[in-house]
Every structure is written in structure tokens, then in C-alpha cells.
Amino acid sequence: MAATTAEPPEAAAAPRDRHPQRWLILGVICLAQLTVLLDNTVLSVAIPSLTRELDATSSDIQWMINAYSLVQSGLLLTAGSAADRYGRKKMLTAGLVLFGIGSLAAGLAQSSTQLIAARAGMGIGGALLMTTTLAVVVQIFDEDERVRAIGLWATVNSLGFAAGPLLGGFMLNHFWWGSIFLINLPVALLGVIAVVRLVPESKNPQGDRPDLVGAALSTVGMASVVYAIISGPEHGWTSAHVLVAAGVGLSVLAVFAVYELRIPYPMLDMHFFRNKQFVGAVTGAVLVAFGMGGSLYLLTQHLQFVLGYEPLEAGLRTAPLAVAVVVLNTVGLGARLHAKLGTPGTILAGMSMMAGGLAVIAVFGGHAYSGMFTGLVLMGAGISFSMPAMANAIMSAIPPEKAGVGAGINGTLAEFGNGLGVAVLGAVLNARFAALVAVSATSFPAAMAAAGSAGERQRISDAFASGLETSQLVGAAAVLLGGAIAAALLWRAERADSGKPAPAAADRASTDPASA
């Protein structure tokens, strides 16, 4: 046993671990990771095209977006466990293949149902990619280079969420809507070739077993809850249709929590929620993703439906958000702020800036882009400060031997928050729009087409703009509240930890084979 426990540090320090093509591998991994992350937001800019060409309703559009994120979030932890047990190279290759097949099916879809199913299939491949890419980065870089490599990987993560509308707008300006999916095929093919030829295999035979039951329970539970939120404006929040879906979702999630407490290899160790630092970071991570995913969903509709921009023009006008995230992450301003304010202060400052950006867009961006530009820059700055600090807080709150689980939890929170943001803020938009204008149409373009006069069209447009403003303000309030709660919990955790002895001795005792 002693020889086994001593082996990883020796291997980590060995020069042979510096793979001669490690930076090339990192580039390929980042490209594959970027493609997966872009698909979280790239679809939002195609909403008008899908509404016209597939006769998609607002509920269809939300499920096209949520099918991908919900399947992916439900499988992230299981995918990470499978990669550790069966081989990271195998699972990374499988993820690229599945993602490519799903992209081909999505690009050739002829109906909303087909596209939703294809997006769900892409979510399976995306889950494998999201978990194995970081595992491979940790594998091929030693401690001297690992911080720099993970920093580049994290920057790509931020860029992926923000740059989707820009890429989508460019593709839609030159090709039909299916091109936003077919562009993934050459990337997936290149990734498979590079992974097979360059990436060394690694696995942990003693790793946790995949928690398939937990994955199924979490996916069904989240999907049911989000379905209830999406269906609320159409069926009524107190209707049996909505209440049954919400009840089923919450019940399944409760069963999931109990099940995870009882099995030896849980997908999510529920005992983590006893740690105030973990709970605070989780709260912030979910609500940053909530505000980011929901706001981008609203912004692309705002730019195209209200301000009248073409898809490429709309994508370009969301670029300040992506530029702010990339520039501030690259120059390391967030790290310097973290050194001065600490984790709680950095998270509070970042989420306050993000909330302020959403509020500026809601109040001043209604009929002019200048107000929206300022809000986008504020949002980008807030994201660049808060996201790395929260990821660090989550990983620091979890034992080192559970680092893979920590990465899976971080990815799951991002995916869940993104899907929930689209669902909740989309539901607020639909409810407000329906309250202001009594129309039978299921989407804004359909309502405009059914309008009988210029005055009625103006009234419908004003109602939709009002719905957008309300939704953005709700998102801003949620992000600001989340930042305050997260910071308070983290401050409490720091004060509690300051009165305890250093955890090194306790960690050694808990991991000592003799103590077992």
C-alpha cells in the first residue's frame, strides 16, 4: 500500500510526464471544449430563424436549448466517474464521436421534435467532453505548468458561453440555420484524430463506479421542474399540468438526494452541503450561470425582435461581453482583485457588477444600443471576476481525493444554472407579454404577423419590450441576491475555519490506510 500511495508524486515529478506535444494537445482540447460550450448559447441567435422555418413555438425553442444543457448537466458526474474507471482517452474519443453524430442529426433536422432529440444526443457527448478535457489537462502537465494550462482552459470556458451568439450570427448571415451545427463536424473529426494519436491513456482502476441511477434521477428531476416552469405561462401556474410536473420533479430530486446518501459511490456526495464554503460557492455558481444563460437568451431576442438587427449584427453587438471576459481573464485582473479582497469580496464584487450590467440593459437598452453596450461590458467584467473565484472556492472546499468530483460539480452547476436561467427568465418574459397583450399566437413573430394594423403591431412590440425589461430586472435581482448570500456564507466559513487547526493533520489521519 505504501508503494502505491507514493507512486503518484513520483510520477508527477518525472520528466517523462512532460509530454512533448502537450501544448498541441491543449490546443486541440480547448478547441473541442469551445465547440461544446458554444452550443450552450449559439442556438439563441437562431431563434427567429427556427421560429419561421420550423414553426417553433416559444416552448419548442426553450426545449431546444434546455434539452442539451439538462442532459449534459445530468450526466457530467457519471461521465467523470466513467472516464476515471474505463479510461479518459476512451471516453474523450467517445464524447467527440457522439457529439459529432448529434451535430449532424441537428443540422439535418426537419422538425422541432427532431432537433430537440438531436440536441439531447449532443448533450451526452458534451458531458463526456466536459469532464475528460480537464482530466487530460491535469494528466499531461506537471505542477510547474499546470496552473498556466488550466488558466487557458478556463478562459476558453468563459469565451465559449459569451461568443456563441457572435458565431451563430456570422453563420446565419451566410448560411441556413443548420450550419451552426454542421460546423462542429470538422472540429469533432480533427479532435478524434488528435486524441487517438496524441493523448496518452490513463485510468484509475480503483475509481468510483458510475452512478447510473443517480444520473437518471437527477436528469428526470431537473427536466420535470424546468418543464413546469416553461409550461407555466401557457397552462397557468396553478394548473394541474404544471403542478404535477413540478411535484414529480421535486419528488424525484428528493429521492435523488436520499439515494446519494445511501450508496457507497454517489454521483454527488450530499455531505458536501454541510460545508458553508461549498454551499456559498454553489449558490454563486448557479446564479451566475442563471443570469448569464438567461440574459443571453433574452438579449438576442431583444436585438433582433425589438431593435431590428440581422443575426450577424445581433451577434456582433453581444461581442463586448466576450471581449471583456477574455481580456480581463488574460491579463489576470481577477487574480489581483482576489488577492486584495479575498474570495467572498471578489464574488460579491463580480456578481454585483453582473447584476448592474443586467439592470443597465433593462433600463437604458430598451430602444438604443448604447445603453446595452455599457451593460454588456459590466456583465463581462463581473463574470471574469466571479466565475474563477467560485470555481476555486468549490475545489478548495472538497477533499483533494475528490477533485474529479469537484470538477464535475462545477460543470453541473454551470449547465443547470444556464438551463434554469433560460427557463425562468423566458417564463417571466412570456407571462409579462401575455398579460399586456391578449393574443392567441405562440410567439412574438406570429403575434406581429396576425396584427391587423400598424397601431396593433406597435402595441405588441411595446409589450414584448416591456416583457424583456421585466425579465432582465428579475435576472439582475437574482444575481445580486445570490452574490450577497454566497459572500455571506463564504465569510462565515472563513471565520469558522480561522478558529480551527490547520486541516493537514486531519486530512492525513482520514486518508491514512492504518486508520481505515
Which of 96-100, 113-117, 153-157, 162-166 is least confident?
162-166
The fold of 269-497 is Growth Hormone; Chain: A; (1.20.1250)
Whether 269-497 and 19-200 are alike in CATH topology: the answer is: yes
Helix axes 58-86, 403-436, angle to 10 degrees: 180
Q: Where are the domains of the chain?
A: 19-200, 214-267, 269-497
Cβ–Cβ < 8 Å for 324, 353 = no
* pLDDT above 50 for 511: no
Residue 290 CA to residue 28 CA, distance in Å, equals: 29
For the chain, helix, strand, coil in percent to 5 are 85, 0, 15
Q: Where are the alpha helices (DSSP H) in 87-111?
A: 88-107
Residue 369 CA to residue 356 CA, distance in Å, equals: 16
Return the higher-pLDDT residue of 468 and 207: 468
Question: Is 19-200 a domain of CATH 2.70.150.10?
Answer: no
Confidence of residue 230 (pLDDT cuts 50, 70, 90): low
Confidence of residue 251 (pLDDT cuts 50, 70, 90): very high
Return the higher-pLDDT residue of 490 and 397: 490
* pLDDT above 90 for 356: yes
| HSE toward the beta carbon, residue 55, CA cutoff 13 A | 3
Q: Which helix (H) or strand (E) holds 308?
A: none
Confidence of residue 439 (pLDDT cuts 50, 70, 90): low
